[in-house]
Amino acid sequence: MSKVRTEDLIDRFNLDLVTGEDGVHREIHTSDISRPGVEMTGYFKFYPKERLQLLGKTELSYFNELNEDQRRDRAEKLCTDITPGIVISRGMEIPAELITAAKEAGVPLMRSPYKTTRVISRLTNYLETKFAPFTAIHGVLVDIYGIGVLITGQSGVGKSETALELVKRGHRLVADDSVEIRQEDYDTLIGNSPPLIEHLLEIRGLGIINVMTLFGAGAVRSYKRITLVINLELWEKNKQYDRLGLEEETMRIMDVEIPKAIVPVRPGRNLAVIIEVAAMNFRLKRMGVNAAEEFSDRLTKVIDQEQTNGE
């Protein structure tokens, strides 16, 4: 899990730091953002002080209607020693009591010119991305006709060579060798390359090549959602492989089940074309067209018709 500090939010979203410079190094440990409305009434029993606090027009309007002692009390209770920061939306004027309390407690007090809902949405999306479950898998990730295809298989089976052929055919490389994967939401996996090897391919006999330099910026992507896994394995003579496509296997990555296909490798097979067609066929299935099921239905009708004629 990535570390996120308040200063990261200030830099990324260009927030105006009003006071609390001493606390910009405080860490944020959750993507949840609190709008302390009930706390403005004086009820702090369940105050989530470890969260980023956001005050919009409603909270500040109520705060300004309180008397001076109440405002001072609420401000001091809002600013704790673990509160990562307080954000004021709409560029509103900040009450003096809140500025004083934030300065004394070392809580970063920031201001954004945007509407409350927009600020919450942007901050939440950023934090959820940073705190998303993370793993790394040995393989190659390629964007094929808009489908994020994760190519896996044992070392030396030909993953990188296949990716190179796919790039030559107009598809886009996301990552080679090691694919960093984070889970966004409950059913979405986003893959990207480690910064050290971004845009690079390792081809045995050639070494390291820079795909973006050789093929242009259109041949690479920084990240892509993973929707299909193709596992390459050496051909086994006695193993039965799926020849119709009726069997649907999946691969579990963290909490997400991803459709998986096994492609046997043997001399003479054009793996790039096979994987390309697999991606197109996957798109057709998502659109409701399943060639394997159509063939099965045709076969069933032919058998039923022959049995009827035989009777």
What are the residue numbers of the active site?
Answer: 138, 159, 177, 243
**Tokens for 144?**
């094929």
Look-up: residue for tokens 């490798």? 265
SS (H, E, C) the chain: CCCEEHHHHHHHHCCEEEECHHHCCCEECCCCEECCCHHHHCCCCCCCCCCEEEECHHHHHHHHHCCHHHHHHHHHHHCCCCCCCEEECCCCCCCHHHHHHHHHHCCCEEECCCCHHHHHHHHHHHHHHHCCCEEEEECEEEEECCEEEEEEECCCCCHHHHHHHHHHCCCEEEECCEEEEEEECCCEEEEECCHHHCCEEEECCCEEEEHHHHHCHHHECCEEECCEEEEEEECCCCCCCCCCCCCCEEEEECCEEEEEEEEEECCCCCHHHHHHHHHHHHHHHHCCCCHHHHHHHHHHHHHHHHHHHHC
Question: What size, in residues, is the chain?
Answer: 311
Q: Please state the φ and ψ torsions of residue 254, each to the nearest 5 degrees.
A: 55, -115
